[in-house]
Amino acid sequence: MNKITHLLLTTLASTVFLMPSITKTSSLPWYHRAFRTYTQSPYTVNCAFINVTRKLRQTALYAYYRLTHKKDDLDQALSTVQTQLKKFEKGLFILEQEALITIKQKYSISDEIWEKCLQDIERVKNSYKNGMLNAYPDITHDETIPTNVLETIIMLLKLNNINPQSISIKMISDETKIAAHAETIAQAVISISVSKDNANNSFIIDSEYIPSAIELSPRVNDAPLSQQISFCAHEVQHLVNLDPITTVILIEYLKYYYAVDKNEFEKSAEYHQLSQIHEAQAEVLSAINNPVIATHMKEMREKKYYPDHLYEEHFYQISTIDMLWKIHDKLEAAYFC
């Protein structure tokens, strides 16, 4: 028996008979890592393999819950699945905090300045969350955006307690900008105002909400439905998380107190790690919140990775979340029938 055959047989046994153990959300299980090492397969092949193991696990787990729970006790199984979903969310927030602490340590930021920085981040985020509850007169929703895409964005904004009239939704028309971001289909644009305080030789971070935007490339017209819905969910989640505010304020503090150049910081491994986590949060959190989004996100990421950010480990997370939602739906149907 060759190594690949042995690995596949061992994988099937592990997938079917072992209960899932969700610990550090960024890591693939041993059998996925081994498969990738032995085969040196491209991304789509690795993701197809992950997808097969998720389907096997889905069948096995559903059977396990039905065998170990009476019909009237299936609410306990539903609670278990919901807890597993929440572990992904908790894991990503822990990773974000670890990434922030790594930045603090690298640049030797004092406790006093660090605390002040975190307070500013929280203050501005709270103000923006409140600001996004209101309507603003200068908000535009571009009529050239495909109707289904515009309706999807508006629906997702409402589901996340964001007033659609607080967010501009624009189709990019600048050819230079389109060419410079050829791979970008959508992006959330969040701005804050930072000014110099000459009197105190400091800077002021204004917390007043500046209406944010979602910008779409004309390439959205050619994207498959799963990509359209997934990119909409991704960008709306950035607005919900307001993670660009964290990055912008960090940059201002590093520049002012430690003379760290913005470009230097953005080239650092620590910044890249934080950016990866924010991009993962944009998809994982939206998938946790909505089973339909989870399915579309899984379909998109099975064929398309996020260059320099999200690869097989991310697809494993998304496909596992989709698997858990499908188990949840079947258990719910059995419980209420």
Percent of the chain with pLDDT over 70: 85
Task: Please report which confidence band the pLDDT of residue 315 belongs to, taking 50, 70 and 90 as the band edges.
Answer: very high
Measured CA to CA, the distance from residue 173 to residue 170 in angstroms comes to 9
pLDDT at position 10 is: 46
Residues 6+ apart with CB under 8 A from 26: 91, 95, 280, 313, 317
pLDDT at position 29 is: 62
Q: Which two tokens stand for residue 20?
A: 């899932």
What type of residue is 87?
A: K
Query: Which residue reads 């092949």 in tokens?
Result: 45
Q: Which two tokens stand for residue 105?
A: 């340590």
Q: Burial, 274: exposed, middle or buried (Cβ in 10 Å; 0-12, 13-18, 19+)?
A: buried
pLDDT at 40 over 90: no
pLDDT at position 179 is: 65
pLDDT at 161 over 90: yes
Of 97 and 33, the structure prediction assigns the larger pLDDT to 97
Question: Which of 49, 223, 194 minimizes the C-alpha distance to 57?
Answer: 49
Task: Give this prediction's pTM.
Answer: 0.88
| Least confident segment among 175-184, 240-249, 303-312 | 175-184
Q: Would you call 197 helix, strand, or coil by DSSP?
A: strand
pLDDT at position 181 is: 65
Q: Which two tokens stand for residue 314?
A: 């991310």
Measured CA to CA, the distance from residue 34 to residue 323 in angstroms comes to 22
Average confidence (pLDDT) over 209-214: 97
pLDDT at 4 over 60: no
Question: Which of 54, 85, 150, 87 minimizes the C-alpha distance to 290?
Answer: 85
- Give Cα separations from 59 to 65, 75, 103, 299 (angstroms): 10, 19, 43, 19
Q: Which two tokens stand for residue 334?
A: 């059995």
Of 69 and 182, the structure prediction assigns the larger pLDDT to 69
pLDDT at position 35 is: 55
Average confidence (pLDDT) over 158-162: 97
Angle at 149 between CA 245 and CA 88, to 5 degrees: 50
pLDDT at 9 over 60: no
Cβ–Cβ < 8 Å for 159, 237: no
pLDDT at position 95 is: 95
Q: Which two tokens stand for residue 216?
A: 């779409």
pLDDT at position 111 is: 97
pLDDT at 76 over 90: yes
Average confidence (pLDDT) over 209-222: 94
Average confidence (pLDDT) over 106-128: 97
Q: What is the pLDDT of residues 226-270, one digit of tens each?
A: 999 999 999 999 999 999 999 999 999 999 999 999 999 999 999
pLDDT at 155 over 60: yes
Q: Chain centroid to CA 161: how far?
A: 18
pLDDT at 2 over 80: no
At 213, phi and psi to the nearest 5? -150, 155
pLDDT at position 166 is: 98
pLDDT at 124 over 80: yes
Measured CA to CA, the distance from residue 258 to residue 239 in angstroms comes to 29
